[in-house]
Amino acid sequence: MVFSFDALSVESKIIDTNILALKPGTAPMSLGMRPQVLKLRYVVPGIIGNFLEPQFPFERHVNSRPEYGSSAIKSVSPRIEASFIGETASLIYSPFSVRGNVLVDAILQTPVGDAGRSPVTLPVEPRDAEDQLSFLPMMCPSCGWDLEGEKNSLILFCRNCTSAWQSHGSGFTSVKFAFPAAKKGSDDAICLPFWRLDASVTGLQLKSYADLVRLANLPKAIRNVWEQKQLHFWVPAFKVQPNLFLRLSTSLTALQPEPESNTPLPKSGILPVTLPSSEAIESLKVLIASLVVPKKFVFPLLPTLSFSMNDQMLVYLRFCPRGPDLIQEDFNMSIQASAVSWGQLI
């Protein structure tokens, strides 16, 4: 997801692109739709071929190609800044062969561009395939019980000691979490995960709930106790369409729900976590840009804002199916069920 903001607005889009990791002129700059329509397999030892090392990091490609950055969204203001949220960078090896002095696409079996006009030279030293896969046993570090989780979930649960874990390096780290209490007649409910972040903001007075009410111009009379109430930012812990992602973030941050505690894990209906907290904190600048009302005052400050994580909690909210929608009855919120299903494909 790419969010950008200029003097008065926030815009968003989804980018799925691939670009050459070698110097221009070596091979086609892009594989087009090929990675999306052809079956991919992991690089493991034993695959025949010479594998070339990337010459540039992914970030350099994205930042140097204007069609992938903020200018693709709007190009009328020099103050535009783009934020990439929930991105996944993969290294894809596409097969080519050299026949004489001609570089040939090994899938289409056709020469590449005008490669036949000049000798083909490898830009970097080739190497054999290396095993880049590693595995962790899904055993609870606390009690040794089996951990549970979907194949795409970043958070795993232990029902024996009621704990949650995320992989970190060669092991697991504990995650604080909260589930809503079960209600009668909600057996078909789906628990959607959200990150509740306690983060310090540098460059803007935004420490308490009262500060948020003033900056967002919420229709509330500020109470004295709100001046001392800790502000928490709420961000979906799952991927969805960017506009919905931003709407959920702003709505829950403005509401500031109080998570329940000491509730058992539901037996089913838990949506997997697909957005890590490290990506969630990167979205806070976009969240603030969408929430604040005095945009002419706050927007010039956005490029200078920085955030530091103090604490985090994974909070699940119960959404009940009602026709094509999922309804959060406590806060009168609704989202399309198809949007949640589609987001699992991002």
Write the pLDDT tens digit of every residue in 134-168: 788 999 999 999 999 998 899 999 999 999 999 98
Q: Which two tokens stand for residue 63?
A: 């930042």
This prediction's pTM: 0.84
In angstroms, the CA 176 to CA 194 distance is 12
pLDDT tens sequence across 324-340: 999 998 898 999 999 99
Q: Of 261, 85, 260, 278, which Cα lies nearest the Cα of 166? A: 278
- CB of 274 within 8 A of CB of 237? yes
Amino acid identity, position 138: M
Whether pLDDT at 190 is above 70: yes
Where in 140-277 does DSSP place strands (E)?
Answer: 155-158, 163-168, 171-174, 177-178, 190-202, 233-236
Least confident residue range of 32-36, 101-105, 129-133: 129-133
Q: What angle do CA 88, 94, 98 make, to 5 degrees?
A: 155
- Domain ranges in the chain? 2-117, 134-175, 179-343
Between these two residues, 80 and 246, which has the higher pLDDT value?
Answer: 246
- CB of 295 within 8 A of CB of 8? yes
- DSSP lists the bridge partners of residue 81 as 5
In angstroms, the CA 234 to CA 328 distance is 15
CA distance to 1, 69, 90, 151, 324, per residue, from 59 (Å): 15, 11, 12, 27, 39
Q: Where are the alpha helices (DSSP H) in the chain?
A: 34-37, 58-64, 209-216, 242-255, 277-282, 284-291, 295-298, 337-343
